[in-house]
Structure 1
Amino acid sequence: MCVKKKLIIAFFISVLLMPNLITPQNQKFGLVIHGGAGNIKRENISAEKEKEYVEKLNEALQKGYSILENGGSSLDAVNAAINILEDSPLFNAGKGAVLTEKGEAELDASIMDGKNLMAGAVAGLKHIKNPINLARLVMEKSPHVFMIGQGAEEFAKQNNFELVPNDYFITEERLNQYKKAKEKLQQSENEKHGTVGCVALDKNGNLAAGTSTGGMMMKKFGRVGDSPIIGAGTYANNNTCAVSATGHGEFFIRLSVAHEISNLIEYKNLSLQDAANELVLNRLKKINAEGGVIAIDKNGNVATPFNTTGMFRAIYISGEKPIIKIFNN
């Protein structure tokens, strides 16, 4: 057989096999988790407490990764990972949420599916054990995107959600922080971090993002931050990336941080890292806003920039070792 015929045959074989090169088995997948950013310094966290944080972040990371590894959706992985962090008193989400000016826990959450741009969000919850679950229910079982307060909890009741007394969320540590903050009539910088979030890419190339929080210590009645706002604290689009933010919510809302990162990728052709850095290390810093983001793009690239002294974060991408970090190092 002549060389020319061999080349032609080889070409057609490669064309026939090409669809099989990108399969769920070969697709890069993984997830990134955050547990909040803020004035987090090594000298302020004991070795024992640091170990607790690392263990809980790893538990959430492994749970989400196992779902992805077994062919589960990015949406399920995000949901499951955030549930673990909501149930832990270590973070400012679900149990262990910070308290409002009135001494109550008031919870917000949102979730988004990058495959179809569907999203769900809830705010001002006082009796929902896992707010991220209700946000997903709003997305999947209602014609709405955003539900708040009593209406959101009534929707939860209609769908047989577990409701808990408000004191379920209040831990002794948060109560002590609240009392100190009330005495000072101002919020301590050490008590702002703790919002949780997760972004994931599954074997089918679908992206998802979710964020859950108790908001800010001593927040005024009716205050809502960026975490439940699609485009500010949470965003996912299969064409670009998935983002979850943490920090001073008012500023993240003003800059539409999560959506703007996606825009810079889509319209300016920036890399994920450059887009995330531009928002967190440039635009937010220009307006004296503290915080950070976690992000993953459609190719499995990851970015975790923050402009504070620390951010609880964990990464697990297929083919790589899991990474868990807290401090700015």
Structure 2
Amino acid sequence: MTCMACLVIHGGAGTIPRASFTPASYQQARDGLQEALRAGWAVLRDGGLALDAVEAAVIALENHPSFNAGHGAVLNAAGDHELDAAIMDGRDRRAGAIASARAIRNPVIAARRVMEDSDCVLLSASGADAFAREQGLDMVAQSYFTTDLRRRHWLRAQEEKAGLLIRARSEAEKHGTVGAVAFDDAGNLAAATSTGGYTYKRAGRVGDAPVIGAGTYACNGVVAVSCTGLGEYFIRRGTAHDIAARIRYRGDNLVSAADAAIAELTEDGCGAGLIAVDGAGNIAMPYNTEGMYRGSIAADGTLSIGIYADDFAMLELIK
């Protein structure tokens, strides 16, 4: 049987400025995108569910230090990590999410357990961590999430607050998110998003990633969306659901609906990006920042990745 599935991932909009990338760090980020695509595609290639594919892809991104989720997450104003994640199944619009978790190695796994093994949609803070422990998930010390890069970003944010910065912080030093959307052979859609939030955020702050309809949404026959950017704007606009509404009720095509959402966020002054796939397997990846870590495996098996506007290209054809 011919595989008609597709998978799209992102590692956040507001990437490291090109001039600041070393060859090694640039390649590391691209390798991380490839690893996540392959993890999700291993599910879809064998006829698996979109839900399983997005979870697998986001786990890989959470485990990779180049991205602001899991290992590599940013630090809040107190110098701690608070992690958010969500997952949504387009088949019945079930969803699960966790917010401000402090010890869950892979937040997206906890989000799925909330969806499947609790009567909640969203658990937060100590309640999320306690639930994950009850579920037997891998729990880690805060130090697991910290990298030298994120510590430097935190110190620069502290300097900015004290008025000591010489060079303004880049978008990449402020925030980031990871996510995946998928369309499987049965026509099912799913979305998942995970993030550490933004650097030096107020303790307890929750962004759009775990808010269903803001940063994450999936509905079979319509669209699956995962967003990246400053979450407050996405929450106010209900961005992920707005894209679904434009398609479902107005009859907009995927690209126009996604572009309109980014245009509104641009008007707000928000650096933003998103990935989306519709009920026919069409893909959209718009953003308004210098770049967005992103990759896709289309229905024809072409694997493509990129960070900036001019380096997104097909790498190979996967059978």
TM-score (norm 1): 0.90
Query: How far apart are the structure 1 equivalents of 2:99 and 2:169?
Result: 23
TM-aligned CA distance change 1:172 to 1:39, over 3 Å: closer
Tell me which residue corresponds to 2:208.
226
2:223 paired with 1:241: yes
Identity of aligned residues (%): 45
CA contact (8 A) 2:176 2:198 kept: no
**Equivalent of 1:262, from 240, 244, 247?**
244
Amino acid at match of 2:57: A
Could you say what secondary structure the match of 1:235 adopts? strand
Match of 1:28 in 2: 4
**CA positional deviation for 1:201:** 0.6
2:101 is the alignment partner of 1:125: yes
Q: Distance in 2 between matches of 1:318 and 1:177?
A: 38
Task: Find 2:189's aligned residue among 182, 207, 214.
Answer: 207
Mapped to 1, the partners of 2:105 and 2:301 lie a distance apart of: 34
Q: Which residues of 2 match residues 136-147 of structure 1 at below 5 A?
A: 136-147=112-123
Distance 1:184 1:74 in 2: 42
Hey, what's the Cα distance between the residues in 2 that align with 1:229 and 1:156?
19
Asked if structure 2 preserves the Cα contact closer than 8 Å seen for 1:243 and 1:296, the reply is yes
Q: In the alignment, residue 211 of structure 1 is paired with which amino acid? A: T
Identify which range, 130-139 or 149-158, moves more after superposition: 149-158
Distance 1:184 1:217 in 2: 12
- Partner of 1:283 in structure 2? 264
Distance 1:193 1:183, change over 3 A: closer
How many pairs are equivalent? 304
Shift of 1:33: 0.3
SS in 2 for 1:322: strand
In structure 1, runs of 5+ residues without a counterpart are: 1-24
Structure 2 gap ranges (5+): 163-167, 311-319
Cα pair 2:75 2:81 within 8 Å, conserved: yes
Superposed displacement of residue 167, structure 1: 1.1
Which amino acid is the alignment partner of residue 37 of structure 2?
Answer: L
The alpha-carbon deviation at position 175 of structure 1 amounts to 1.1
**Conserved in 2, the CA contact under 8 Å of 1:41 and 1:327?**
no
* Equivalent residue, structure 1, for 2:287: 306
- By how many angstroms is 1:318 displaced? 2.3
Question: Which has the higher Rg, Structure 1 or Structure 2?
Answer: 1
CA shift in 2, pair 1:51/1:139, >3 Å: same
Q: Which amino acid aligns with 1:283?
A: E
Q: Are the structure 2 counterparts of residues 178 and 237 from structure 1 closer, same or farther at C-alpha, using a change threshold of 3 Å?
A: same
The amino acid of 1:140's aligned partner reads E
Shift of 1:296: 0.4
Residues 250-293 of structure 1, C-alpha deviations (whole Å, 9 max, x = no match): 0011110000000000011010000000000x211111111110
Alignment match, 1:45: 21
3-state SS of paired residue (1:270): coil
State the 1:41 CA deviation. 2.9
Contact 1:125/1:153, CA 8 A, preserved across alignment? yes
Q: Deviation digits for residues 46-104 of structure 1, max 9, x if unmatched?
A: 22211111111001101111210101111111001100110111110001100000000
d(CA) in 2 for partners of 1:183, 1:48: 27
Partner in structure 2 of residue 179 of structure 1: 155
CA contact (8 A) 2:74 2:175 kept: no
- Corresponding residue of 1:6: none
Residue 151, structure 1, aligned to residue 132, structure 2: no
More helix by share: 1
TM-score scaled to structure 2, two decimals? Answer: 0.93
Secondary structure of the equivalent of 1:33?
strand
Q: Partners of 1:188 and 1:174 in 2: how far apart? A: 13
Aligned partners of 2:36 and 2:15: how far apart in 1?
Answer: 23
Q: Is this contact kept in 1: 2:175–2:230, CA < 8 A?
A: no
C-alpha contact (below 8 Å) 1:39/1:193 kept by paired residues: no
Letter in 1 for 2:226: S
